[in-house]
Homo-oligomer: A and B are copies of this chain.
Amino acid sequence: MHAPVELADIAADVLARIRARRPRVHCITNTVAQQYTANILLAAGAVPSMTIAPDEIGAFVGGADALLVNLGTFDSERKSAVGAALAAAESKPWVLDPVFIERSPKRAQFARDLVGRGPAVVRLNGAEFAALTGAEAEPPDCFARAHKTVVAVTGENDVVTDGQRSVTVANGDPLMSRVTGMGCAGSALVAAAAAVERDAWLATVAALTALGVAGEVAAQSAAAPGRFASWIIDALFSLDRATLRARAKVS
């Protein structure tokens, strides 16, 4: 296992690699979260693209380093975009974010089918994870093992497991839940991390730690969600190794 300080350093390394290599992350995501997701990726150093047009999504995914599949605003065009994107993704890492599947049985079924297509990471909240596992109510590590993926169940504390290794990331701030698209943007940051770190579990821990620490830094000066939404972008843009070491709560 990794010691907490080691994981903070890995988060700093992953951020440094994103800034240096500027990975391209293609995002199939809902229109509510598109702008915020793109701005989080740009602040981290990655290059977002977001088309879902069937004619060209293959070319975009083919030129990308990682892919995000977010199921929010789940229309038919997006559904077919997912198929085309996964066909083009080949061995590139992709992250599944099954937004709001607890509200929509059809969306939940689509998410279950997608888990079988081999995402590197599934990032979701507790209600979404319950909807994904359904009546079986598997714990995250069993689910990760069974489906050979990394599972990140985010909330007040984030649990990240690949079935063998499990940690809790206790960083973040309650204001993060008052900004629309924050979770979606977090999943996109996981995809950017997975583009520069082949160990998807480490990439996920790094991205969620970085975003949580950035949230804490932002909350020091922004006490309400309007300004907080901008300041967490700035905190992520400026995040350094010393701050990650001082603040990371990964255990």
Contact = CB atoms under 8 A, between A and B. Distances in A.
A223 B43 CA distance: 12
Contact of A56 (B43, B106, B179, B225): B106
A38 B43 contact: no
Nearest to A60: B103
Given A32-B35, A106-B56, A238 B224 contact: yes
B34 A51 contact: no
Interface string A41-62: 0110000111111011001100
Contacts of A100: 49, 51, 60
Contacts of A230: 226-227, 229-230
A39 B234 contact: no
Contact of A104 (B60, B77, B180): B60
Contacts of A224: 43, 233-235, 237-238
A50 B32 contact: yes
A31 interface: yes
B43 A226 contact: yes
Number of copies: 3
Contact of A225 (B52, B225, B234): B234
A226 B234 CA distance: 5
A55 B76 CA distance: 9
A178 interface: yes
B225 A233 contact: yes
A140 interface: no
Interface in A228-242: 229-235, 237-238
Interface stretch (A67-75, A143-151, A194-202): A67-75
A233 B34 CA distance: 20
A19 to B, nearest CB: 11
A103 B225 contact: no
A195 to B, nearest CB: 16
B43 A32 contact: no
Contacts of A177: 42
A231 B238 contact: no
